[in-house]
Amino acid sequence: MDRDDVRTALERHHRESFGWALACCAQDPEAAADVLQTAYLKVLEGRARFDGRSAFRTWLFAVIRNTAADDRRRRRLRRLRLIRYAEEADRPAHAPPEDERLDGHARQTQFRALLARLPRRQREALHLVFYHDLTIREAADVMGVSLGSARTHYERGKKRLRQWLTTDDDETGRRSAESALS
C-alpha cells in the first residue's frame, strides 16, 4: 500500500479505531485519543508496516492494542517515579482520579461493567467480536494469540457473563444484557 492508500484506509476505519482505542484505554477518551494519534503516527511514518498477511483493519487494531500497552507501561513507570519522589520528599502520593465516563444507557452501563470484570484476554476477545464485528480469527490476530486460544477466551468470557447475568436480581438488566450476548 502506498501512503495515500494507507491514509484513506485510516480515515475509513477511524471511528472503529477510536472505539477500540477506548476499550484498550479503560474507556478514558483522552488516553484513547493519545494512543490513536501515536498509532497513526507509527503507521504513517513507517514504524508499523502493513504486510498484507491479514485484513488492514485487523492489523491496525493490533497496532492500536500494542500502542496502548506501551502507553500503559509508560504511565505506570511515570506513576512509580512520582510515588518514589513523593515518598522521598515526605509527601503523600496522589493517585490520578478515576475517569468513569460511560454513556447514560443503563443496559450499556451494566454490560460494560460486567465486561470490565472479565480477565483482560476474555474482555478483549468479546469486545473485538461484539463491538467491532471481527471474526474470532481476526480477533486472534489483533490479540496476538492463536485461533484456539482466542476461541477459548471468547467462550469462557461468554460463559462467565451468562453466569453473572443469571445471578443478577435486576430482570430488566438481565434481559438487556442477554440480548447483547445473542
Instruction: Find cell 494512543 and name the residue.
Output: 35
pLDDT in tens, the chain (182 residues): 788 899 999 999 999 999 999 999 999 999 999 999 999 999 999 899 888 889 999 999 999 999 999 998 888 888 877 777 666 665 444 544 444 444 446 767 777 788 889 999 999 998 888 888 889 998 899 999 999 999 999 999 999 988 887 776 455 455 555 555 65
Predicted pLDDT of residue 161? 87
The structural domain count of the chain equals 2
**Residue 118: Cβ-neighbour burial (10 angstroms; 0-12, 13-18, 19+):** buried
Q: 131 and 71, same structural domain?
A: no
Q: 107 and 97, same structural domain?
A: no
Predicted pLDDT of residue 114? 86
Q: 119 and 92, same structural domain?
A: no
Q: 33 and 83, same structural domain?
A: yes
Q: Which of 101, 118, 150 is the last residue of a domain?
A: 101
Contacts of 130 (CB under 8 A, 6+ apart): 180
**Contact yes or no for 35/27 (Cβ under 8 A):** no
Predicted pLDDT of residue 91? 47
Residue 107: domain span:
103-182
Predicted pLDDT of residue 103? 40
Q: What is the reported pTM?
A: 0.55
**For the residues of 114-165, what is the DSSP string, one character each?**
HHHHS-HHHHHHHHHHHHH---HHHHHHHHTS-HHHHHHHHHHHHHHHHHHH
**Cα–Cα dist 144/78, whole Å:** 26
Q: 10 and 95, same structural domain?
A: yes
Q: 114 and 162, same structural domain?
A: yes
Which CATH number belongs to the domain containing residue 108 in this structure? 1.10.10.10
